[in-house]
Structure 1
Amino acid sequence: MMLKLQFSPLCYGLLIFTVLSAALLQPAEACTRILWNDNGLAVVVGRTMDWPESTEPVLTVLPRGMKRDGGRTGDTVTVKENPARWTSKYASLVTTLYGVGTADGFNEKGLGGHLLYLQATDFGTRDTRLPGVQAGLWLQYLLDNAASVKEALALMKTVQIVMTEAHGHNATVHLAIEDASGDSAVVEYIDGKPVIHHGKQYRVMTNDPTYDEQLALVEKQDYSNPSSDTPLPGNVKATDRFQRATYYAAMLPKPNNEREAIASILAIARNVSVPFGAPYKGFGIYNTEYRTAINLTDRRYFFELTTSPNVIWVDLNSFKLGPGSPVMRLDPDNPQLSGNVSGEFRKADKPPY
């Protein structure tokens, strides 16, 4: 494993997640992630999900003790030889993507993560000596088995992430993870090797180009004297969103409570969201479908569907999470939902994976 450490003032990353479903019409999506780990109140993180159609997000509570097959993408066998199989050690609350992967979420220990697309991704030639995990379950594998960023990075040495495909579109994904201590990491596979940026300073993430290149671009900007006259790029491309998120994240005022902390993260997420109809170079129209915010300290998940007038939230601590507990789910595409919706979840007919 190739470890690359960067020590710039802020942490940044690039994330997009390839949709792994038959409903896909385009090869990629654009997203932004913002981590706030130095506010003195709680470690909070937010993200946007940008896509030209509904990814059919479902909020899902997954208890401990669930058996998983990392070699399957829905009903398709992706890893035919030596697929990773495991039993979940930790419970998690996630947003699923077309029922075949985990795009976003966190576990009961306060490890959070976000899986998105990167064009340069290359997982390398399949090495059957290592158990294989299809790319859509990469994040879920870590949420099931790791309590911290450090543990998650160690676990990654024991498996191989394997490219999966749906309708001719490859899941060229990369990953951002963070935990309740404020630790953070961005993982990209470039030329078949993992490139890891590990440290609390990696807070803002968008999309292409690679993370190294994004860091170099933002370091050329002078945001030392912020004001309303500071020139900021305002379009929807990844480099513009990266710089705007970096600028505004550096100026967040200390929150007095969770309400202010979550509002601060969502304010930046809204600033870097892709408006309806805005063209995204090379990929057509990629509106922001939803925004999330996670309080990793107190284990609460906030979700905002852009076509809904309300923000909803879920308290993971209010669910039964032990082995044998039911998988619970909630379709957020309901404009009547508002506020704490923990009691609105219903038992799933079957696990998503």
Structure 2
Amino acid sequence: MRRCLVILLVACMVAAAPAQTALACSAALLRIADRPVMVRNYDWHIGNALLMMNQPGIAKRALAFDNPAEWTSKYGSISVNQYGRELPVDGINDQGLAIAVLWLDETEYPATDERPSVSPAQWVQYQLDTAKSVEEVLASDNLIRINPYGNAKVHYFVSDATGDCAVIDFLEGRMVAHRGDQLQFDQITNSTCSESQGCMVGFEGFGGNDAIPADTKSLSRYARLASVAAKLETTNKPLHQVGFDTIHQVRQRSTQWQLVYDLKAKKMFFRTMNHSKIREIELAECEFDAEKPTMILDIEAPLEGDVIGHFREYSRDANKSLVEKSVAGTKFAQSFPPAVVQMVINYPDHACVPAKTEAAATP
């Protein structure tokens, strides 16, 4: 019984680590000079995180205790991890697929069925590992499901290098995806896609008479972002700077970092509340190889420009420091028993190994 309780607590911690209604983010796909550029604000009460250079060819078993999913990563990726390795809130892979996690109160995940499961955060890493397009992400709903541990209510914004994108909600126990003709505005904040799109008819420039609101409520940010995106004009500015300028229009006092993904070029640009210099990572220059170790970089490192050369090898101690700092800075997580935190810290050591190593160990 005690072991079952600990397992349940671990699952709750992993799934709910970002769970708090203050997690009010914004994300959009812009078309700048006919290139797809995904932008995102991460709004939260702490800003520490590690960028992870995740390798292909790694056999993984989900940190879930309800029929955990197992897979081998096909693609290399750069992810942003705040509550531990393999549990990102953002990321892009070497195929140009990018994903952002945003809070959604209405979320209701599928009931237990025959599909293997992952936590809401690890769903992101699964997609970065296995999918190269929005279409493949949507098709994965037949293969895996998100488990409800911890009541972490989030939805997802997904874009790929072709310019395809989708808002993925989980409502009444099923995936509800808006894409193509069903997605009137290539963006999302913290309301369902249907509600967000429906609100736009009342605003100036979109069929109504109401002024675009200036507050930071979810639908207000949605309307303002749509208005700004609709007015984008040809400019000599770099694509990523246009991206930052656009997403900055819906920033909040809690905006910890801003990310811009040039999906065709497979480049990631970022800046943080505490360090406004723009940093960049070109995925084509990353050493993605199953024989290479996972690499990490502090998102707050005082750098500028290309930062690939500053990544260092992942270590358990680095993961420990990340998890402990994030738990200490998150009120609802401060009461977790030390043993529970330790299990999350140790998880990658035994659940993420090169596929060749795993095959060799099989009798």
Provide the aligned length of Structure 1 versus Structure 2.
305
Secondary structure, counterpart of 1:322 in structure 2:
coil
Distance across 1 between alignment mates of 2:136 and 2:17: 35
Cα deviation for residue 79 of structure 1 reads 2.3
Distance across 2 between alignment mates of 1:260 and 1:337: 19
Secondary structure, counterpart of 1:270 in structure 2:
helix
Structure with the greater alpha carbon radius of gyration = 2
Partner AA of 1:109 in structure 2: Q
Cα deviation for residue 333 of structure 1 reads 1.4
Distance across 1 between alignment mates of 2:15 and 2:166: 27
Partner AA of 2:44 in structure 1: W
Contact 1:21 1:98 in 2 (8 A): no
Structure 1 residues 222 and 231, CA gap change in structure 2 (3 angstroms): closer
Contact 1:79 1:134 in 2 (8 A): no
Cα deviation for residue 49 of structure 1 reads 0.5
Partner of 2:322: none
Partner of 2:242: 264
Which residue among 292, 303, 308 is the counterpart of 1:325? 292
Contact 2:203 2:211 in 1 (8 A): no
Distance across 2 between alignment mates of 1:176 and 1:22: 19
Q: Does 1:251 align with 2:236?
A: no
Cα deviation for residue 28 of structure 1 reads 4.3
Distance across 2 between alignment mates of 1:22 and 1:223: 38
1:289-328 correspondence to structure 2 within 5 Å: 289-328=256-295
Structure 1 residues 206 and 19, CA gap change in structure 2 (3 angstroms): farther
Contact 1:58 1:332 in 2 (8 A): yes
Q: Does 1:213 align with 2:202?
A: no
More strand by proportion, 1 or 2? 1
Cα deviation for residue 311 of structure 1 reads 1.3
Structure 1 residues 333 and 239, CA gap change in structure 2 (3 angstroms): same
1:194-213 correspondence to structure 2 within 5 Å: 194-199=175-180, 201-208=184-191, 210-213=192-195
Distance across 2 between alignment mates of 1:23 and 1:212: 27
Partner of 1:11: none
Structure 1 residues 58 and 48, CA gap change in structure 2 (3 angstroms): same
Distance across 1 between alignment mates of 2:127 and 2:201: 31
Q: Name the TM-score, length of structure 1 as normaliser.
A: 0.80
Cα deviation for residue 196 of structure 1 reads 0.9
1:30-109 correspondence to structure 2 within 5 Å: 30-37=24-31, 39-54=32-47, 56-70=48-62, 72=63, 78-80=64-66, 82-99=67-84, 101-109=87-95
Distance across 1 between alignment mates of 2:65 and 2:14: 15
Distance across 1 between alignment mates of 2:229 and 2:125: 27
Distance across 2 between alignment mates of 1:340 and 1:322: 20
List per-residue Cα deviations over 1:308-352 (Å, max 9, x = no partner): 131111111111112221111100213x31111111111112596
Q: Which runs of 5+ in 1 are unaligned?
A: 1-17, 73-77, 276-286
Structure 1 residues 181 and 22, CA gap change in structure 2 (3 angstroms): closer
Partner AA of 2:55 in structure 1: P
Q: Name the TM-score, length of structure 2 as normaliser.
A: 0.78
List per-residue Cα deviations over 1:19-71 (Å, max 9, x = no partner): 9589879454000002113x3442111100111223x221111110112222x
Distance across 1 between alignment mates of 2:267 and 2:13: 26
Partner AA of 2:50 in structure 1: V
1:149-164 correspondence to structure 2 within 5 Å: 149-164=134-149
Cα deviation for residue 164 of structure 1 reads 2.7
Secondary structure, counterpart of 1:253 in structure 2:
coil
Partner AA of 1:150 in structure 2: E
Structure 1 residues 25 and 215, CA gap change in structure 2 (3 angstroms): closer
Distance across 1 between alignment mates of 2:245 and 2:214: 15
1:125-274 correspondence to structure 2 within 5 Å: 125-127=111-113, 129-165=114-150, 170-199=151-180, 201-208=184-191, 210-223=192-205, 231-256=211-236, 260-274=238-252
RMSD over aligned Cα, in angstroms?
A: 2.5
Structure 1 residues 224 and 185, CA gap change in structure 2 (3 angstroms): closer
Secondary structure, counterpart of 2:299 in structure 1:
coil
Contact 1:314 1:340 in 2 (8 A): yes
Distance across 2 between alignment mates of 1:304 and 1:323: 29
Contact 1:313 1:340 in 2 (8 A): yes
More helix by proportion, 1 or 2? 2
Distance across 2 between alignment mates of 1:243 and 1:201: 12
Partner AA of 2:111 in structure 1: T
Q: Which runs of 5+ in 2 are unaligned?
A: 1-11, 320-347, 349-363
Q: Does 1:121 align with 2:80?
A: no
Partner AA of 1:173 in structure 2: V
Distance across 1 between alignment mates of 2:50 and 2:112: 31
Partner AA of 2:84 in structure 1: G
Partner of 1:111: 97
Structure 1 residues 87 and 202, CA gap change in structure 2 (3 angstroms): farther
Cα deviation for residue 108 of structure 1 reads 0.6
List per-residue Cα deviations over 1:177-212 (Å, max 9, x = no partner): 11000001111111111111012754121112x211
Contact 1:34 1:265 in 2 (8 A): no
Cα deviation for residue 119 of structure 1 reads 0.7
Secondary structure, counterpart of 2:275 in structure 1:
coil
Structure 1 residues 163 and 312, CA gap change in structure 2 (3 angstroms): same
